[in-house]
Amino acid sequence: MIDMHAHWRPAELIDALRARAKEPRIVRNQDGVEVVKSRIGEEPVSKAFDDVEFHIARMDRQGVNTSVLSLLGAYCWIESQPVEVSLPLCRMVNDALSGLCQKYERFNAFAALPLVDMSAAAAEFERALALPGLVGAQVPGNGFLTKKDAEDMRPLLEVANRQRAIVFIHHGPRPGDTFPKVTGDTDNARRRNGTLDMQASLSSVMVTLCLTDYLAPYPDATVLVHNLGGNIPYEIERMDHRSLLDTANEELPSSRFRRSKVYVDCNSFGPGAIEAAVRLYGAERIVCGTDGTEFGCEWTSKALKDAQIGEEAREKILRHNATAMMSRLAKAARETAAA
């Protein structure tokens, strides 16, 4: 298995978290123990960051050959700080991720970018792609909710297109966005934020990417959206129905989604959803994703095993699509070196 959606909690941010005055930050609790305190609780510092040997052991248990690491959402606060703060922190994280990739050869990684300044973000993206093991960048889904929103992200797409790199679009806020949408005192807040809003937001991202011409200038960029691209595989029949009623002369949305070049991962979904996604997108557009956890690996492996999609489709999703996706960047690097 190649896991394209494996989040990482970098210990390199310990000092920066200790210096913060608001969550997430490191404080001492009433027992005198240092904890990482966030909006959803606290965790001892000794357990709050990822250990590479533990991660590799989990990969071995779960049959994961390669994990593509990306910053866990709770640590993406570094990207929204003033550029004089965010740029050094992002560089530190990207350099550390590259070091892991070089030392262990079981990892690739997506860069973190200082999103408060798109020119600085594009420059760091370019720099990070020259580091061993970096294959793209993770960017927030809120940047693509509409085509108007996505205009600000064009500098990053230009870098990805030039370098044949991957843009991993993950549900999350842009700097300054109110996030999460549902406050903690609302009933079922975790369900509303972690499923209802997340999936609806990802559906909007896919509509922007697949039902507009936004990606037309970037034929060599690879775009990946997590969680099957939201609810589109289940909503497409209604979308087609509404299209026939409202805009009968337009190409059906299902056709446009099917021929789009946007990839999705199957993180967090079961066999029925994977089957629906294969019917809509085609197996060649789906890759593995697990969130980088033991439970996520078990869940994804079982879902793919139980999905009625055929062995060829299963192999594409498990490894072949991801291999082809990342080989484009390697080819571009070889061509640049030869030139």
Sequence-ordered alpha helix ranges (H) in 74-163: 83-104, 118-129, 147-150, 154-163
Residue 156 to residues 5, 168, 337, Cα–Cα distance (Å): 20, 11, 22
Q: What is the pLDDT of residue 39?
A: 80
pLDDT at res. 40: 78
Phi-psi region at 56: left, alpha or beta (left = phi > 0; alpha = psi -120 to 50):
alpha
Map out the domains of the chain with their CATH numbers: 2-9+50-338 (3.20.20.140)
Give the pair of three-digit tokens for residue 8: 């990482």
Indicate the burial class of 38 (C-beta count within 10 angstroms; 0-12, 13-18, 19 or more). Answer: middle
Would you state the pLDDT for residue 247? 95
pLDDT value at residue 334: 65
Give the pLDDT confidence of 200-250 residue by residue, as tens digits: 999 999 999 999 999 999 999 999 999 999 999 999 999 999 999 999 999
Closest CA to 12 of 75, 79, 60, 80: 75
Backbone φ, ψ for residue 8 (5° rounding): -135, 140
Question: What confidence score (pLDDT) does residue 336 get?
Answer: 66
Q: Could you list the pLDDT tens digit for every one of the 339 residues in the chain?
A: 999 999 999 999 999 999 999 899 999 998 899 999 988 788 999 999 999 999 999 999 999 999 999 999 999 999 999 999 999 999 999 999 999 999 999 999 999 999 999 999 999 999 999 999 999 999 999 999 999 999 999 999 999 999 999 999 999 999 999 999 998 899 999 999 999 999 999 999 999 999 999 999 999 999 999 999 999 999 999 999 999 999 999 999 999 999 999 999 999 999 999 999 999 999 999 999 999 999 999 999 999 999 999 999 999 999 999 999 998 887 666 676 666
> What is the pTM assigned to this prediction?
0.96
State residue 328's pLDDT score. 83
